[in-house]
Amino acid sequence: MATASQPEVHAHGRKPWRVIFRVLLLLATAVSLYFLFPSLVDLFTQWHSLADVEPWWLLLAVVFEATSVTALWEVQRIALRTPSWFAVGTSQLAGNAAGNVIPGGGATAGAFSYRLLVRAGVRRDDVAAGLAAVSIANTATILAFPLLALPAILGGLQAPRGLLTTAYIGAGAFVLAVLAGLAAFLWDRPLQEAGRAVDAVLRLFPGKRDAHGSGERLLAQRDGLRHAFGTRWPFALCAIVAKPAFDYLGLLCCLAAVGARPNPSLVVLAYSGSMLLTLIPFTPGGLGFVEAGLTGLLTLAGTTAHQAVVATLAYRLLTFWLPLLVGGVAYLLHRRRYGSAGASTSATSP
């Protein structure tokens, strides 16, 4: 009797914390959208201008964005140690769509993808470690992107102060991310200390009073990632770099579609700044923050205000709104193959 009631007690103990967290997140979303609403209205009233863009440039942007997503699938396949393109692709598309609808940003998308991958038969520990590693690697690559503009700046290119500020922030965060990643992969002590900190935080919550062993689990997942990448690390590195690189080329095509030809090095800085805004979890997919920020940054990069608005609309159409539809279809396909519950071994079969 006591054994059967224990999960129920834990569930009731955790429920208030979950409700409080969700209420606070929704409140932050509402406040953010309230302040961003005027700029969103000004932006979306220009939708009709998309009819004037060059369709061939927009088509090329679609190709680049599709290549960017495919590169993400490849590095996820390596990190998750699964050969299944279908399981990885559908879970990523569906998770991305969920993150573009539900507040929480990358955390929401990752949690949704986690459930789908486990349902497809990928080991839970591989999913947790693989998705976390890919997310960190993608973030670090984006932070390093401003370095691509460094040669042009050293060569005399005059960059506006606003773009340089985003470059400084990104470069500093990139150095910290690289140092933390090297410490985690080369030594056991940082992960053990991180695990103890996680256990200490978990023990503050009802139902987690006996939390322990996070450090050992982190070490096991780290060792699993070492084995997963192994001799395939060159492919993983190329895929990690290709993901934001082709996304950046997609943005350049959107600018060309509206007749804008700003300096590509300045666009690199604008792109990096907008990617930092997508990390803000208060609105789904950075809605509002990205639109307002990218429009302003592209203007600093040398486009007219109208060109910046229309290019931003085209870019977000391909990277935010269209993936909502594609993600819904991917979820239905995933559910059709793997069902709505349980797990399958097909995703891990060679």
Residue 11: what pLDDT? 44
pLDDT band at 4 (very low <50, low <70, confident <90, very high): very low
pLDDT band at 326 (very low <50, low <70, confident <90, very high): very high
The predicted-structure confidence for 51-84, as pLDDT tens digits, reads as follows 888 999 999 999 999 999 999 999 999 888 888 9
Could you give the angle at the alpha carbon of 33 between the alpha carbons of 315 and 304, nearest 5°? 40
Q: What is the mean pLDDT of residues 188-194?
A: 77
Lookup: tokens for 90:
């559908």
Residue 288: what pLDDT? 79
Choice among 105-114, 203-212, 253-262 with the minimum mean pLDDT: 203-212
Instruction: Count how many Cα atoms sit within 13 Å of the Cα of residue 319 in the half-sphere of its side chain.
Output: 29
Name, of 141-150, 152-161, 224-233, 260-269, the range with top average pLDDT.
260-269
More confident residue, 150 or 245: 245
More confident residue, 347 or 269: 269
- Of 288, 269, 272, give the one whose Cα is nearest residue 280: 288
Residue 32: what pLDDT? 66
Choice among 106-120, 149-163, 261-275 with the minimum mean pLDDT: 149-163
Report the C-alpha gap between 205 and 261 in whole angstroms: 54
The predicted-structure confidence for 232-246, as pLDDT tens digits, reads as follows 778 888 888 899 999
Check whether 10 has a pLDDT greater than 60. Answer: no
Check whether 205 has a pLDDT greater than 90. Answer: no
Residue 87: what pLDDT? 94
Instruction: State which amino acid sits at residue 328.
Output: G
Q: 283 with 22: CB under 8 angstroms? A: no
Residue 6: what pLDDT? 46
Q: Three-state SS string across 240-284, please?
A: HHHHHHHHHHHHHHHHHHCCCCCCHHHHHHHHHHHHHHCCCCCCH
Residue 228: what pLDDT? 64
Strand, coil or helix: what is 118?
helix
Residue 72: what pLDDT? 94
Check whether 280 has a pLDDT greater than 70. Answer: yes
Over the chain, what is the mean pLDDT? 79
Check whether 8 has a pLDDT greater than 50. Answer: no
Distances (CA, A) of 28 to 17, 23, 36, 235: 17, 9, 12, 39
Backbone angles phi, psi at 207, to 5 degrees: 85, -5
Check whether 297 has a pLDDT greater than 50. Answer: yes
Q: What is the mean pLDDT of residues 37-61?
A: 82
Q: What is the mean pLDDT of residues 84-99?
A: 93
Distances (CA, A) of 297 to 36, 82, 88, 108: 16, 39, 33, 27
More confident residue, 330 or 124: 330
Residue 138: what pLDDT? 82
Check whether 5 has a pLDDT greater than 50. Answer: no
More confident residue, 196 or 209: 196
Report the C-alpha gap between 67 and 179 in whole angstroms: 29
Lookup: tokens for 286:
């950075």
